[in-house]
Chains A and B, each alone.
Chain A
C-alpha cells in the first residue's frame, strides 16, 4: 500500500466523524416511502387482499371454514376509521392503514397524502399478504377499496363536495402482470374540510354481490373534520403539460408556508414568502419534456402574460394561498419547446404592475448543429425516446441510435443495422466501415464528466458525442470516433490514458 492509499484511508477515517447519524427517520422520509409504496398502483394493498384469500382458501381445504365466501355478503356493520364512518359487510375488513403497517405513524406525525382507510373482503393480516396475485395461486374474485386523504383541494376535481360519482380508472391496466383484467374506479372529493381520493379495484371474477357491496360501502361513507396530518396542506390547482399532470400544493406549519409542484414522477418545491412584495419566476423541469414556470406574486397582480418572442400567451389561472396564510398567489405556465420570453404582471387595468421577468427554457435540449460542433457534440434528434445521430465517413453513411436504456445502442453502417446492446462504460466497441476491413467507427460510452475523447496513433482522431444512457438509465455520453485505415492506438479520455484500441 503506498502513501496515497494510506492518506486516503486516514482521511476517510477522520471524515467519518463529520457525519452524525439520526436516531430515527425524518417524518417526511417515512411519508414519502409509504407514498412510493402506494404509487405502485396499490400493489401491496391489493396483493395483501388476494394472498390472504389464498391463505383462507387453504384453511378451508383443511376443514377450518373461515372468512367470507365470494358473494357471501351477509349483514352489514358500521365503523369509523380515521374520521371516516363506513357501513360494509360485517365479514369484511375496514382497517386503518397505520394499524396494518401500510402507513407510518412515527411519533404521531403524518403528512398528506396518506392512506386512511382500506376496505377488503379478506383479512389483510393473514400470512402471505404481500406479493403479486398472479404469482401466487390465489382464489378468484378479489376486490378492494382504499381511501387516501389528500391536501385540501380548493379547486379542481377533488374540491367537489361529497357525495361524488365514481369514474372508471385504468390504474390497474399498468400492471397487467399482477392484475390481469382488473378494473378500477376512482373518485376525489372534499368533505368536512378534508379532501380524499378513493380507488376501487375489482378482479374479473369478482361476484356481482361483492361488487355491489363494495359500491354500497363507498356510497355509505361520511366524514368528520380533523385531518390525520399535522400542519395544513392545500391543493391550490392542477393542470397538464407534456402529457403529464401537475399539482400545486401549499403547506403551512410552524416553519411557515411552502409550495410543492408534483407530478407522478417528480416533485419540486420551496418555502415561500407568504406576503411577497415583488413577483418572482422560476422554471422547473418536471420530467421528460415538461417545463413549468412557477410564478409567485403579490395579490395586486390580476393577470399573468407570457410574451414569448411576440407570441403572447395569457389567461393563466391564478392560485391564491388560503386567506389567513398570506396574500401570495401563484400561476403555473407550461413552457412549450424551447425559447425565451418575458413574464408580464398586469394590474386590474391591464397595465404592468411590476417590471417583466425574463425567462428562458429548453425542453428538448437538442442542440443546433453550430452548438453541437462547438462542444464536440454530434447533431442529434430525439423521437419517441430514440436519440439518433448520423454521419458519413470514407464515403459510407452511418447512423447511431440510442434506444431505451435497457436496449442500448443500434449502429447502422451503409444501411445494415446491428444492435450492440447495452455498452459498458469506458469499453470501446469497434466496427469496420466496409467489407475490406478498412476504416472504422469506434464507439465508447463514458460518463458525462468526459469532455474529450480521442485516439492517438500515427495521427490523432477526435470523437464527438451524443446523449446516451448507462444500463441502469443513468446519464452518459456515446462517443463516435471515425478512424481511417487499419491500426492500433491509444484511447484517451480528457487527455488521460484509458486503454488501447485496434481497428477494424
Chain B
C-alpha cells in the first residue's frame, strides 16, 4: 500500500501547494481505490467514494497544515465517508441513479466475488467493524492509528476488530479457528 500510514493533525501553517492535482491523483488514487474497494466491496461505489474524498481533501489542500500528509488525510476521509451519512445519503443515491441508467455490474456465477466466501462475509459486517479490520489487516496500521481514523479509543477499536472477526468466523463456518 503506497499510502503513508501516519495520520497527522494540522500543526503549522501550510506552505503553498506545489503538487499538481493530477500528480496527487496519480500518486494516491491506486491505494485509495483499493482501500475504498475493500471498505465497500463495490468497484463503482469505491470510485465514487474516492472521488468524493479527493474533492474534499484536494479542495482543502491549501488549508492543510501538513500537505505532505495528503495521503493520510485522504485515507481518513475515505474511511469516514464510507461510514458516514454522506455515503448513505448521497453516494448511494448517486450510485443507484447511475445504475438505473447504466448496465448493472452483476456477479456472474464464475465471478470470484461469488466464490470468495470470506470476501462476501467481510461485506456483511457493520461498516465500522469492516473498516477496523481493513485498516488493521490490509493497511497494516497500528491500533492507535486505526483508532484515530475511526475516531474511537484503541479499546473500542479492538472491540470492533474482535466483533468483526467473530462474525467472520461464524459466517464462514470456521468457528474452530
Contacts and interface: CB of A to CB of B under 8 A. Distances in A.
Interface string B1-38: 00000000000011011001110011001100110011
Contacts of B16: 127-130
A341 interface: no
B46 to A, nearest CB: 7
Contacts of B165: 4
B51 A23 contact: no
A130 B62 contact: yes
Contacts of A374: none
A36 B56 contact: yes
A43 B126 CA distance: 39
Nearest to B16: A130
Interface string A399-416: 000000000000000000
B152 A131 contact: no
By secondary structure, the A interface counts as: mixed
A447 B29 contact: no
A68 interface: no
A424 B152 contact: yes
B152 A426 contact: yes
A481 B156 CA distance: 19
B152 A4 contact: no
Contact of B119 (A11, A21, A29, A127): A11
B89 A285 contact: yes
B85 A475 contact: yes
A428 B119 CA distance: 32
Interface in B57-107: 58-63, 80, 83-85, 88-90, 93-94, 97-98, 100-101
A472 B127 CA distance: 16
A29 B128 contact: no
Contact of A447 (B17, B83, B93, B98): B83
B37 A25 contact: no
Given A18-B43, A19-B46, A450-B126, A32 B55 contact: yes
B86 to A, nearest CB: 9
Contacts of A450: 126
A349 interface: no
A268 B94 contact: yes
A128 B15 CA distance: 8
A257 to B, nearest CB: 11
B55 A106 contact: no
B142 interface: no
Interface string B129-141: 1000110011000
Interface in A29-74: 29-30, 32-37, 39-40, 43-44
Given A5-B137, A424-B156, A447 B128 contact: yes
Contact of B59 (A11, A36, A135): A36
Contact of A29 (B30, B51, B138): B51
Given A24-B22, A131-B13, A450-B126, A427 B153 contact: yes
A141 interface: no
Nearest to B81: A474
B153 A447 contact: no
Given A9-B138, A21-B29, A426-B160, 14 more contacts: A14-B112, A19-B43, A21-B33, A22-B29, A30-B22, A33-B59, A130-B16, A130-B17, A268-B94, A449-B128, A474-B85, A475-B84, A493-B163, A496-B163
Closest 10 CB pairs of A and B: A36-B59, A449-B126, A21-B30, A25-B25, A426-B156, A475-B85, A270-B97, A12-B138, A425-B152, A33-B58
30 contacts: A3-B177, A4-B169, A5-B137, A9-B137, A11-B118, A12-B138, A16-B34, A18-B43, A18-B112, A19-B34, A20-B33, A21-B30, A22-B25, A23-B26, A24-B22, A25-B21, A29-B25, A33-B55, A33-B58, A36-B56, A37-B60, A106-B21, A270-B100, A284-B93, A425-B150, A425-B151, A426-B160, A427-B156, A447-B126, A499-B155
